[in-house]
Amino acid sequence: MIRRYYSETLQLVSAWGPSAFVMAAIFFVSGLSSPPVPSVLPDVGLHAVAYAVLGAALLRGLADAQWSQVTIRNVLWAVLLAVVYGASDEWHQSFVPGRTPELRDLFSDFVGSVFGASVVWLWGIVLIDR
């Protein structure tokens, strides 16, 4: 019984741990008045990259870290969850001195999450068809 509980907990952490880590990192950086990013990189590009990673990580969690569960339905849920998190992150930034919420950032979050989740989905198709 204890071994089963340990195994289920390990599976849960393996599936959802990356999402929790990425969300915590996004929350931390968005709470900084002056984020430590190179000024040569556009803000929307950074949002897209961060949310591409989040979209992929959320898809991993929704699929329970199993390629057979990487479905278009889970891709859509991953994107929806990422965009909701993006909206909450923009709201969070409204309380940080020197930061402002922007609709274009949320759009970049959407585009990035679609890209990240889609890449994982397409990669899953390649792996399953082999």
- Model confidence over 32-76: pLDDT tens digits? 988 877 767 788 899 999 999 999 999 999 999 998 899 999 999
What is residue 127's three-state secondary structure? helix
Q: Cα separation of 117 and 99, whole Å?
A: 28
Q: Are 86 and 121 in contact (CB under 8 A)?
A: no
Per-residue confidence band for 107, with pLDDT thresholds at 50, 70 and 90: very high
Q: Answer whether 0.95 is exceeded by the pTM.
A: no
Per-residue confidence band for 16, with pLDDT thresholds at 50, 70 and 90: very high
Q: What does the mean pLDDT of the chain come to?
A: 91
pLDDT value of position 41: 74
What CA–CA distances, in Å, run from 43 to 15, 46, 101, 121?
29, 5, 12, 26
Q: Are 29 and 54 in contact (CB under 8 A)?
A: no
pLDDT value of position 22: 98
The residue-averaged pLDDT of 8-32 equals: 93
Q: Cα separation of 108 and 37, whole Å?
A: 17
Count of structural domains within the chain: 1
The residue-averaged pLDDT of 91-119 equals: 96
Question: What is the domain extent for residue 50?
Answer: 2-32+39-128
Q: Cα separation of 50 and 18, whole Å?
A: 12
Per-residue confidence band for 126, with pLDDT thresholds at 50, 70 and 90: confident
Task: Locate 30 and state its tokens.
Answer: 């968005």
Angle at 4 between CA 16 and CA 20, to 5 degrees: 10
pLDDT value of position 28: 95
